[in-house]
Structure formats: C-alpha cells, structure tokens
C-alpha cells in the first residue's frame, strides 16, 4: 500500500484528497463521504470500513502540526481494506471477520485548513490571508489552530469555562496560533461536524490521534467508564506507549473529554511518536510500525 501517498513528505490536503480518491477507486467496499466543511470550505473527508455494528471512531489532525496522524490513518485505511479483501491477517487478526461485526469511521484530517496553513503559509487561506498573517505574525511554523485561530482541541463543551479562564490567565485572550479555544464551545465548523457525527452514530469507542509523546490519555471526570483504564493499559501494551494524566491547559475542552462526558463511553487521546512537532516524515515508518498494533487492537477491544 505504499503507493497511496509519498511517505517521505508531509501530507497536505491535496495529497490527502488524492490518497482518498485512490482508496475509493480501489476498494468498492469502502465508503467515503464528507461530514462537513472547514472554515475555508475544504471537505472533512471520512472513510467507513466494515459493515457491522457497533461503529468505532478514529480521528486525526485536530492540530495542524500533527499531520503524521493523517498519514497513519490513511495508511491504516488502505491496509484494512486490502486485508479485508484478501482475507489475510493483519497483526495476527482476521480483519475480515472483525469488520463483519464492527465498522470503523476514520476522519484522518479534521483540520485541513490548519495543515495547509502550516505547510504553505497564508497563501492557502484565500480571503482570510491578511487576518491570519496578523495572528501568526507571518510565521506559521508553529501553527496548530484552524483558519479562525481556534485550537480545535480546546473547542469542545467539557469544562469549557474553566479552560477559558485558564487560557486568559495564560495570556491567551483571542485567536492565536495555538491554545485559544474559541468564544463558545463547538463554535467551529470542524468541531461541530465531528460532534454531530458522534451524536448521530453513538460510537462504541472514540480514538483521537495526536502527536507526540507515545502516551495514551483515557480519563475525564466522573463519567469515565470503569473499563477505560484496562482498555488503555491493553492499548499501551500493544505498542509500548505509556498511560498518562493531562495537566494544565490540556485538562479540559478536548475531544475525548467531551466524548466521555457526553456519552460515558471509553474515549482516548493517543499521542503518537516522540520528539518535537511537527514530527518529520522520516519518523513515519517507525511510528506506524508500532502504532499499527494499537490501531488493529482498537477495533476489537
């Protein structure tokens, strides 16, 4: 499946769309649709693989610098489809049989505008170019937010007021390259689209992929299910990651926080790879080799 995209380069939105197109052409069993549009009108493409119930959710690239998560989820979608068709095992598991009683919704790139801003600068931002140049001071090398300067993983309705207060105390009062959660929860089209998908599908588990740290976060408040810790432990063991507790500005407003507090079902943040964001594409192969075990286990656990 190495021909889906060039693994030696960062995956931008165009490369992602081209890979999605190839997958769609190659595997008729895979469904591909858009759950909504980003601020700048880019489609938030989603794959559905498998026909069974209950459905699961894998989502990548909440943050612009974390496009390695998109690369991993696209590659995984390709491998799943390939092994589903051939009947061969993936990480020792018969995915064909798994996917007859499960389905997985994969949203590889929730924040396409942010990824493009980081990779191509404000020329990718159309009418918002000047405004974004002012927010970033012309430097998009550390850009994590969407095209309104909102950090999508601070924009969910879970401890939002507490997080907003913490942001202001840290000097983050308005649109910024990172860590500004917006003026109200779910204000951004990207987070709203993902929340709507969750409300519609009632996923059994939700996994949000970020980078970096090789760690798994599993807890949020008193609605965290009892089995979440054991699941996190098994996931961590599968790929040699560790289990962690969030601190400071990462403690509220995140997708997994919202998912757990609304649905009382297991939700996880998985921080892939280790080093400094953006992790270089030269890390991709080694990161993916480890992560594949977790991605397969996540379908069954």
Sites of contact with Zn ion (CB under 5 A): 63, 66, 210
Task: Output the residue with the shortest Cβ distance to Zn ion.
Answer: 210
Asked if residues 241 and 152 have their Cβ atoms less than 8 Å apart, the reply is: no
Closer to Zn ion at the Cβ: 1 or 166?
Answer: 166
Q: How far is the CB of 21 from Zn ion (least distance, A)?
A: 27
Closer to Zn ion at the Cβ: 90 or 117?
Answer: 117
Helices then strands (H, E): number in the chain? 10, 8
Q: How far is the CB of 46 from Zn ion (least distance, A)?
A: 19
Closer to Zn ion at the Cβ: 151 or 219?
Answer: 151
Q: How far is the CB of 256 from Zn ion (least distance, A)?
A: 11
Closer to Zn ion at the Cβ: 5 or 217?
Answer: 217
Alpha-carbon gap, residue 97 to 101, rounded angstroms: 7
Asked if residues 272 and 287 have their Cβ atoms less than 8 Å apart, the reply is: yes
Closer to Zn ion at the Cβ: 197 or 270?
Answer: 270
Closer to Zn ion at the Cβ: 63 or 205?
Answer: 63
Q: How far is the CB of 114 from Zn ion (least distance, A)?
A: 11
Core vs surface per residue 204-233: b (16+ CB within 10 A) or e: bbbbbbbbbbbbbbbbbeeebbeebeebbe
Instruction: List the alpha helices (DSSP H) in the chain.
Output: 13-26, 68-86, 95-98, 112-120, 129-136, 160-169, 189-201, 228-239, 255-263, 284-300
Q: How far is the CB of 154 from Zn ion (least distance, A)?
A: 10
Closer to Zn ion at the Cβ: 66 or 219?
Answer: 66
Alpha-carbon gap, residue 223 to 259, rounded angstroms: 10
Alpha-carbon gap, residue 153 to 185, rounded angstroms: 10
Q: How far is the CB of 65 from Zn ion (least distance, A)?
A: 8
Sign of CA dihedral 280, 292, 80, 84: positive
- Of 100, 73, 76, 102, nearest in space to 90 by CA: 76
Which H or E run includes 8? none
Q: How far is the CB of 272 from Zn ion (least distance, A)?
A: 10
């Amino acid at each position: 499946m190495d021909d889906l995209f060039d693994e030696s380069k960062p995956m931008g939105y165009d490369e992602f769309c081209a890979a999605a197109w190839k997958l769609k052409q190659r595997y008729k069993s895979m469904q591909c649709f858009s759950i909504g549009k980003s601020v700048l009108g880019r489609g938030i493409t989603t794959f559905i693989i498998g026909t069974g119930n209950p459905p699961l959710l894998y989502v990548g690239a909440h943050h612009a610098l974390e496009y390695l998560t998109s690369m991993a989820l696209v590659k995984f979608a390709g491998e799943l489809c390939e092994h589903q068709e051939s009947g061969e095992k993936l990480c020792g598991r018969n995915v064909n049989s798994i996917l007859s009683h499960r389905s997985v919704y994969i949203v590889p790139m929730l924040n396409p505008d942010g990824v493009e801003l980081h990779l191509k600068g404000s020329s990718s931002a159309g009418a918002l170019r000047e405004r974004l140049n002012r927010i970033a001071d012309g430097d998009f090398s550390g850009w994590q937010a969407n095209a309104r300067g909102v950090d999508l993983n601070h924009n969910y309705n879970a401890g939002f007021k507490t997080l907003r207060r913490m942001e202001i105390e840290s000097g983050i009062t308005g649109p910024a390259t990172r860590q500004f959660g917006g003026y109200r929860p779910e204000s951004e089209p990207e987070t709203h689209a993902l929340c709507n998908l969750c409300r519609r599908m009632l996923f059994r588990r939700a996994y949000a992929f970020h980078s970096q740290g090789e760690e798994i976060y599993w807890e949020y408040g008193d609605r965290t299910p009892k089995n979440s810790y054991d699941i996190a432990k098994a996931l961590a063991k599968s790929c040699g990651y560790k289990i962690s507790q969030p601190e400071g500005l990462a403690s509220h407003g995140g997708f997994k926080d919202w998912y757990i507090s609304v649905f009382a079902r297991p939700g996880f943040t998985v921080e892939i790879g280790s080093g400094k964001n953006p992790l270089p594409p030269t890390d991709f192969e080694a990161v993916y080799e480890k992560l594949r075990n977790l991605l397969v286990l996540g379908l069954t656990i």
